Amino acid sequence: MAESPIFVKTYDLVQWLVPRTLKFPREHRFLLATRIQTRAFELQRALLFAAKSASASETAQALRRADVELAELRLNLRLASDLRLLDPRGYAHVARLTDEVGKLLGGWQRTLAH
């Protein structure tokens, strides 16, 4: 499980996000940075729950939750970029990471549906 691509990519995403959000200006650190970190950790948690679930319905529910967490994370990252808390190059990088996680998540959901 730890070597599964979605867990590796999600870990890379969290590892990249945490130090950058800690550098947000004080007025954004406690709200937006915390939201970004929370969404990233909740995404990771939902994926772990999906992998450890005993039934297909629990797995599907956890994957839907992960999808919502990913969508919220993307919105918060876009806001951080629009507020110039992430430079364009950093935003491009994190957008690629979230896209990769999204593709892997979608693939997992499709596999489960069949």
Query: What CATH number corresponds to the domain at position 10?
Result: 1.20.1440.60
CA distance 50 to 65: 9
Nearest to 17 by CA among 77, 63, 75: 77
Q: Read off the pLDDT band of 3 (50, 70, 90).
A: confident
Q: What is the DSSP letter of 85?
A: S
CA distance 103 to 72: 16
Q: What is the DSSP letter of 29?
A: I
Range of the domain at 35: 5-113
pLDDT digits (tens, 9 = 90+) for 23-77: 999 999 889 999 999 999 999 999 999 999 989 999 999 999 999 999 999 999 9
- pTM here is 0.93
